Amino acid sequence: MLWIHGQITTLKTIQGLFLPSVVSLAVPLALMSLTSEANGSSQKSSSLLSSEQMAPRGQLVFAVGLGALVFVPVFKALTGLPPFMGMMLGLAILWILTDAIHYGDSGKQRLKVPQALSRIDTQGVLFFLGILMSVGRIKISGSYLVIFMFINMLIWCLESAGILRQLANYLDANIPNADLIASAIGVASAIIDNVPLVAATMGMYDLTSFPQDADFWQLVAFCAGTGGSMLIIGSAAGVAFMGMEKVDFFWYFRKVSGFALAGYAAGIITYLAAQNLPLSLPTSLAEIPFISGS
């Protein structure tokens, strides 16, 4: 959402957030690997992985799907078309690929895209659709979106009434440090889904308050994207995980939340440290040697 609305750009985001993102992943993994449960099941897990290697055709589908996701910002940069069209193009390529791979094999129908789409969280998709439409000021109708649109239109109404701006002024007055505000937004995303939370943040602050690719927007992108992992209800992926793996809230809170918090804090510290170190990373494609040809 921040990228689509111009708060952040692709290369600056990669440059600023790649290292903090790696740290936020590495720290929880390192801490969890030290626990007795992880050590006790490591041998079993390694034998399970060795006996269930991904088939070559599965590796191809995985690689194409990952490439389709990476291709979305490239598609937008090359064509100027909305990112969702790049996503639909990637989905179409995957659809054709899986149909071609499993053509005539009735036992592999579950591996095709139509069967995969039948297992997605439709309510979650409609929730994000409603938010993106309300942020884009597009009015839609349909009873199945009433609840979702109510939440999203509430955000829009708060922005139109100036309440979000007043909230921003209150935060500025009581929390003068923008880094703390962005960090607080990430903590809030553990309870509130990050999509409406970022939509509200965009209503509170605009590009006159913080210009494009400002540290605030970069930190909001990181915090809102990773803070939701501190509680399993903080993201649509967590809710889907609850349903698929039958994991309850308190199990996740006991086993994972502390490690996720450590990774979240380590990522923020890494980002702030990197901003204060005299590092010189490429800021444009022309400065990358293998692209510029120098």
Are 212 and 8 within 8 A, CB to CB? yes
State how far the Cα of 165 lies from the Cα of 168, in Å rounded to an integer: 5
Range of the domain at 236: 2-34+57-120+162-276
The verdict on residue 211 lying in a domain is yes
The pTM (predicted TM-score) of the whole model is: 0.65
The verdict on residue 96 lying in a domain is yes
Residue keyed to tokens 């940069």: 77
Q: What are phi and psi of 30, to 5 degrees?
A: -65, -45
- The CA-atom distances, in angstroms, between 205 and each of 134, 163, 167, 168, 200 are 17, 12, 10, 7, 9
Residue keyed to tokens 């995969």: 116
The verdict on residue 265 lying in a domain is yes
Looking at residue 265, what is its pLDDT?
Answer: 93
What length is written for the chain?
294
The verdict on residue 88 lying in a domain is yes
CA 125 to chain centre: 14
Q: How many structural domains comprise the chain? A: 1
Return the amino acid letter for 199. A
List alpha helices for 161-288, DSSP H: 163-174, 178-188, 194-204, 215-226, 236-245, 249-252, 258-275
The verdict on residue 290 lying in a domain is no
Q: What does each of the 294 residues of the chain score in pLDDT, given as a tens digit?
A: 788 788 888 888 888 899 999 999 999 999 988 876 655 555 555 554 555 566 777 788 888 888 988 888 888 888 888 777 888 888 889 889 888 887 877 777 777 777 777 766 666 666 655 555 554 443 444 443 454 455 556 666 666 666 666 766 777 777 778 888 888 888 888 887 777 778 778 877 878 888 988 888 999 999 988 888 888 877 767 777 777 777 888 888 888 889 999 999 999 999 999 888 755 555 444 454 444 444
Both tokens of 111, joined, read: 């591996």
The verdict on residue 149 lying in a domain is no
User: Residue 235: left if φ>0, alpha if ψ -120 to 50, beta else—which one?
Assistant: beta
The verdict on residue 127 lying in a domain is no
